[in-house]
A and B are shown apart, each in its own frame.
Chain A
Amino acid sequence: MSDTTAPSDPEGKKILLVMTTGPEDPDKTYAPFYTAALMAAMEIDTTMYFLMHGPELLRKGAAEKVPLKKGGNLKQFVDMALENGVKFLACAESCRDLCEIPADEMIDGVKLVGSATLADLALDADSVISF
């Protein structure tokens, strides 16, 4: 019988990924969603918080228009993250004032929250990663 566990079990920990990049820089969009999906699959409580240009990726039909160098587009990775249980929170102020996205134009599964929520999430998380 072999023990092949990871050095420390991340299960049950909380990670917050802060996403500020939008479709203007496609190369920086894949890794956050892929990493979040993987973390959620590891049973880490994973939240992505989208602000600045980040919410643009959550507009209906937007991810399909973000090409990836590895082929395909971002949509499958957004879907994979949601499917694995990643929570998507978007900054209401960024959506309204910067991205100008009405709530009904966001994809399903996104919750709009205020800026103060970011403070709560960051303080509550075991680790915060910013993209």
Chain B
Amino acid sequence: MAILNGCEFPDDRAYFIERTQMTWVRVEGDRLTVGLTDPAQTRAGKVLHVRIKAAGTSRERGKPIATVESGKWAGPVMAPVTGTVVESNAEVEKDPSLLNTDPYGRGWIVVMTATNPVEVTTLLRGEAALAKFKEILERDHIRCMRCQG
């Protein structure tokens, strides 16, 4: 687990970092679990509502698989690769604060499959991901904190 500015970045994830997007991806065979990173949930603030695309929805890379709103931020969660949503997290829709309190665990958003598995290799990992995060955290003055409850 790497920590930058108080933000946690688990070593076992790949990351999709583009424009305002900072999502994590856990690759398990052909299943890609996607969620918000620590800095993404911090920037959003306490999430009040989340709407997640249903299983069966096909998405192009960079198109929304969910929308998140907190009162101070409203924005999309974009698909890190082109593919199909195979599972969405109903628990998070009922309790969006899980995105803040457990972003890498119970706060996962969707599981998807990639149309082109090669695209998964374009996600950032390890030092490359951390270097990019460091740049964003410093540029946007983000210091992570976890909302409780």
Residues on B with beta carbons closer than 8 Å to the beta carbon of A70: 71-72
Whether the Cβ atoms of B51 and A6 lie closer than 8 Å is yes
**Distance between Cα atoms of A51 and B143 in the complex (Å):** 39
Which range holds the interface residue count of chain B? 20 to 34
Interchain CA distance A70-B74 in the complex, whole Å: 15
- Chain A contacts of B71 at CB under 8 A? 34, 70
* Chain A residues whose CB sits within 8 angstroms of the CB of B74 once the complex forms: 34, 37-38, 41, 80, 84
A3 touches B76 (CB 8 A): no
The answer to whether B20 and A83 have CB atoms under 8 Å apart is yes
Q: Are A4 and B67 in contact (CB under 8 A)?
A: no
B51 cross-chain contacts in A, Cβ below 8 A: 6, 42
Whether, in the assembled complex, A43 has its beta carbon less than 8 Å from a beta carbon of chain B, the answer is yes
CB within 8 Å of B: which of A2-46?
Answer: 2-6, 34, 37-38, 41-43
**CB proximity of A107 to chain B, nearest CB, Å:** 19
Q: Give Cα distance in the complex from A37 to B50, angstroms.
A: 14
A116 contacts the other chain (Cβ, under 8 Å)? no
B20 touches A42 (CB 8 A): no
Residues 1-57 of B contacting A (Cβ, < 8 Å): 20, 51-55, 57
Is A1 located at the chain interface by the 8 A CB criterion?
yes
Within B52-85, which residues are at the interface with A (CB < 8 Å)? 52-55, 57, 63-64, 67, 69, 71-76
Smallest CB-CB separation from A42: which chain B residue? B67
CA distance A34 to B52 in the complex (A): 19
Task: Please determine whether B69 and A38 come into contact, CB atoms closer than 8 angstroms.
Answer: yes
| Cα A99 to Cα B128 with chains together (Å) | 49
A41 interface neighbour in B54, B76, B88, B89, Cβ under 8 Å: B76
Chain A nearest CB, measured from B33 CB (Å): 14
B87 within 8 A of A: yes
With A41-B64, A41-B67, A83-B20 already in contact, the answer to whether A1 and B55 are too (CB < 8 A) is yes
Chain A residue nearest to B72 (CB atoms) is A70
Return 22 A-B CB contacts under 8 Å, by A number. A1-B86, A2-B55, A2-B88, A2-B90, A3-B54, A4-B52, A4-B54, A4-B89, A4-B90, A5-B52, A5-B54, A37-B75, A38-B69, A38-B74, A42-B67, A43-B63, A43-B64, A43-B76, A72-B72, A76-B72, A83-B20, A84-B75
The 10 A-B residue pairs with the shortest CB-CB distance in the complex, in nearest-first order: A5-B54, A38-B74, A41-B76, A2-B90, A41-B67, A37-B74, A4-B90, A41-B75, A4-B88, A4-B93
| A interface with B by C-beta (< 8 Å) | 1-6, 34, 37-38, 41-43, 70, 72, 76, 80, 83-84
